[in-house]
Amino acid sequence: MQIPAFDGKPPQYYQLVLQEDLINGWTLVREWGQQGYAGRVKRDHFPDRTAAEAALLRVRDSQLQRGYKVVFMQGNEAPA
C-alpha cells in the first residue's frame, strides 16, 4: 500500500506479509516508512493461518482508512 507524495517528500509505504513459521504458526510481518529510507518492522505471531489472515485484514482496512492505496497484491494458495 502506498500514499502519494506530498510537498516533495517521498511516498510512504506500508507492506503486509504472511509467513508460515517453523513452530507450527504464522507470522504477520508489517513494514512501513518512506520509500528510499529505512523502514520500521513489526512481527506478530499467530497460532494458525485463519487468525493471521484476520489480523492482516484488520491492519489493511485500518491503513486504507488512513489514505493508503493498494498498489500491488500477490497471494499464494495454501498448500494441499
Average pLDDT over residues 45-56: 95
Condensed to tens digits (0 to 9), the pLDDT of residues 18-39 reads 999 888 899 999 999 998 888 9
- Taking the C-alpha atoms of residue 73 and residue 50, their distance in angstroms, rounded to an integer, is 19
Residue 55 has pLDDT above 70, yes or no: yes
In Å, how far are 9, 11, 70 from 1, measured between CA atoms?
A: 16, 10, 4
Q: Give the domain ranges of the chain.
A: 2-65
- Taking the C-alpha atoms of residue 64 and residue 36, their distance in angstroms, rounded to an integer, is 22
